[in-house]
Structure formats: C-alpha cells, structure tokens
Amino acid sequence: MTKLKLGPLADDRPVKLTVELSAAVHRDLAAYAAALATETGSEAVTPEKLVAPMLARFMATDRAFTKSQRQGMSKDSA
C-alpha cells in the first residue's frame, strides 16, 4: 500500500461546522479512515474526523495559497 498523505490525527479542540457531502465523498472518507487505521495501526476514526486534517493538509500544500498568505503577512508587518 502506498503511504497516505495523512498521519495520525492530533487531538485538538474542535470547532463545530456543518457541511453537506455527496454520498460518494462520504464513502471515500470512510474508506480512507479504514486505510488510515490499517496504515497507522490505530483505531478507525469516523469520516468526520478526517475533514479538518485533510483541509489543513490541502491548504498547506497549495502553493498559490501559501504564497498569498506570505504576501499578506509581509503587508501586515510593513
């Protein structure tokens, strides 16, 4: 199996957010949760617990977003 992009999930204080997902995305999240549990040797997590770390990973690896964040910070510090 290839290495998944997410590792073990941090236990962080959550902020409640309601979203609607297609059934296909929910099925894929459930499958990803099972694969993550197998890869990390941990207990399976619910699909809901994957959304935040997946979004965080996506934003952290989006070059245009991180560039805009850096430019925004440099403007704030000027």
Q: Where are the domains of the chain?
A: 23-77
Q: What are phi and psi of 70, to 5 degrees?
A: -65, -40
- Give the chain's end-to-end CA distance (angstroms, integer): 47
2-60: per-residue pLDDT in tens? 677 777 877 778 788 899 999 999 999 999 999 999 998 988 889 998 998 999 999 99
Does the pTM surpass 0.75? The reply is no
How does DSSP assign 21-59, residue by residue? --HHHHHHHHHHHHHHHHHHTS----HHHHHHHHHHHHH
69 pLDDT higher than 80: yes
Please check whether residue 47 is in contact with residue 29, taking contact to mean a CB–CB distance below 8 angstroms.
yes
